[in-house]
Structure 1
Amino acid sequence: MAQAISAQSLTKKFGRREVLHGVDFAVEAGSVFGVIGPNGAGKTTTMRCLLDIIRPTSGQVRVLGKDPRAGGPELRRRIGYLPGELFLEGRLTGRTLLAHYQAISGPVPPGRIEDLAERLGLDLDRHTRKLSKGNKQKLGLVQAFMHDPELLVLDEPTSGLDPLVQQEFHAMVREAQHNGQTIFLSSHVLSEVQQTADTVAILRDGRIIAVESVSGLREGAVRRVRFTAIGITAHDAGALLAGVPGVGHVEVLATDGSITLSATVEGAIQPLVRALGTLELTDLVLAEPDLEESVLKMYSSPADANPDDTEQREAVR
């Protein structure tokens, strides 16, 4: 499959400080690719390099088959971009501002702006200075989606949106993918990405430490299990679980006539199922995989950044 985005050995320095360290990834055309990581990991810097808002120090980047530095207006019209920090002219209405963006981005299907605004619950005739953060974000989403670009680059797209609008945004992403568009989005919250993304890259301290499909993350994620059994002591049940690969943090919850235990299991659950099949169970709860916990393990080490260097952290956000 063709690649909509590729980055090879992408590095970026601000002064003497290197904030992207040889980043490599590829985004297949027609896919939804999510980048997650804590604030300051380099998500925004990566996106700005892809769009030629800032220039990488070294490495190669291709976007829709073009070098962003030489793509010019023709390439930019094929992209819809929502920045993480959205600044809007406050003296204009949303409708007037979008008309200005339309003149830059190219043709917008008739009624498209109004349809998107209605879906998101956005009043186009209010001045932007009177809009809440969430409504400004809605306006940014409309300008990114309205011209049906080949590539959508969305930096923290659900920031400030209420849960119902977030669900509408996820529907918009799925529709865009169905239409053959490619979506590249970032977040520091995994649950936002996993609802829409096919593939997730985990960024920490300017390095990609893992690229996984969402299904692959689920397979390796931590699950929680709780069961109640009769005819066995808590000690023997705990010993049984201790021999199961991936099981950890076993805790006895109750021993009143029966025993109730909880545990975590990481990876394949079939060995656990076989072990539990030897018990006389009266209750069993196997929770959904905790992807947040699994990913946090990947980027929970202390950051290299100087905690007093606020300006630098904002630059690499």
Structure 2
Amino acid sequence: MMADTILSVKHLQKKFGKFAALKDVTFDVHSGEVFGFIGPNGAGKSTTIRTLLGILRASGGSATIFGKDVWKDSVRIHEHLAYVPGDVYLWPNLTGGEIIDLFLKLNHQRHTSRTNDLIKQFELDPGKKARTYSKGNRQKVALIAAFSTDADLYIFDEPTSGLDPLNEEIFQKNVLALKLQGKSILLSSHILSEVERMCDRIGIIREGQIIETGTLTEMRHLTRTLITVQTRQALPDLSATQDVHNFKRSDNTPNKASFSVDSDKMDKVMQTLASLEIIVLQSTPPTLEDLFLRYYQKGKQGDGENEA
């Protein structure tokens, strides 16, 4: 195991009766890294995280945090870990402030000026009873407690569900601040822009299996770049060219067309266009969303049947 590997998951499996929620999950999270764990609802993200937290016992494979077994050593692991679930349940008769302090106390931490600063940033009213809080405010309570905690690993499972875009940005800013401090973060999300903005590496989970892990740069070879071009010379129909997709000519501008091209085959296509004297060229880089959709479409085409 690498010295800087904080979390290591190897061929993790979890069955509920005959249903295999996790079939083969393998990934690592290193020190000072934000690892994005992405996939649609029902893909197995929360089951993986509950297993890592020692809430569920794995049916097969192994998982360690800080080199310790997640099931046998869960109490010791939790002393250095902060966690925020996607739906936070709070004690209805306690105020938000009381709950934040209770969470901190349970983690052997104290309410500090950092806690006060976070309450201001997220614009939470800590004097209100939790029963009056919206879903977004319940998330804020858990996030403030987590960001106030001095942990080595932070696990966020769909943490921004219920937050407005402004608070999402505050969440992202605080995650990046943790990263600068050398902390490790496992972020499970289906908000692709969130992952794209913050994560060093990502793992894509589909129907209980990790189907790819790597940096966004490494994965972009599996995506397509959208090109809009206008040339001085006659623009031939490029749809027959390998690696060019969805070639469409402009109705009202001669020699203008748009198409997408496999990102790793861009060089060949650009040479063809350059020989036609480019007047206008616009290229839109691929997003994580493109990558995500391609993976799922590829998987679905290969499936004989749909799984729940």
Paired residue secondary structure (1:195): helix
Task: Give 2:287's aligned residue.
Answer: 290
Task: Give 1:254's aligned residue.
Answer: 251
The reply on whether 1:105 has 2:101 as its aligned counterpart is: no
CA 1:295 to 1:109, structure 2 compared with 1: closer, same or farther past 3 Å?
same
CA 1:290 to 1:100, structure 2 compared with 1: closer, same or farther past 3 Å?
closer
CA RMSD of aligned residues (A): 1.8
Q: Is the 8 A contact 1:205 1:304 kept in 2?
A: no
Compute the displacement of 1:281 (Å): 2.5
Which digits, 9 at most, give the CA deviation of each residue in 1:281-314, with x for residues without a partner? 22211112133122112124278434xxxxxxxx
In 2, distance between residues paired with 1:11 and 1:220?
Answer: 27
Counterpart residue identity of residue 288, structure 1: P
Counterpart residue identity of residue 172, structure 1: N
Report 1:292-311 matches (<5 A): 292-300=289-297, 301=300, 304-306=306-308
Task: Give 1:315's aligned residue.
Answer: none
Counterpart residue identity of residue 281, structure 1: I
Q: Is the 8 A contact 1:113 1:146 kept in 2?
A: yes
Within the candidate set 174, 192, 195, 1:193 is matched to 195
In 1, distance between residues paired with 2:188 and 2:74?
Answer: 24
The reply on whether 1:131 has 2:113 as its aligned counterpart is: no
In 2, distance between residues paired with 1:125 and 1:275?
Answer: 66
Report 1:139-154 matches (<5 A): 139-154=141-156
In 1, distance between residues paired with 2:150 and 2:267?
Answer: 44
Compute the displacement of 1:185 (Å): 0.8
Counterpart residue identity of residue 295, structure 1: F
In 1, distance between residues paired with 2:232 and 2:251?
Answer: 12
In 2, distance between residues paired with 1:167 and 1:297?
Answer: 27
The reply on whether 1:31 has 2:28 as its aligned counterpart is: no
In 2, distance between residues paired with 1:170 and 1:215?
Answer: 20
Q: Is the 8 A contact 2:104 2:111 kept in 1?
A: no
In 2, distance between residues paired with 1:82 and 1:19?
Answer: 21
Structure 1 stretches of 5 or more lacking a match? 307-317
In 1, distance between residues paired with 2:306 and 2:80?
Answer: 36
Compute the displacement of 1:230 (Å): 2.7
In 2, distance between residues paired with 1:169 and 1:64?
Answer: 25
Paired residue secondary structure (1:299): helix
In 2, distance between residues paired with 1:271 and 1:247?
Answer: 10
Task: Give 2:16's aligned residue.
Answer: 14
CA 1:115 to 1:195, structure 2 compared with 1: closer, same or farther past 3 Å?
same
Within the candidate set 217, 220, 241, 1:218 is matched to 220
% identity of equivalent residues: 33
Q: For this pair of structures, how many residues does the alignment match?
A: 300
Q: Compute the TM-score of the two structures, normalised by the length of structure 1.
A: 0.89
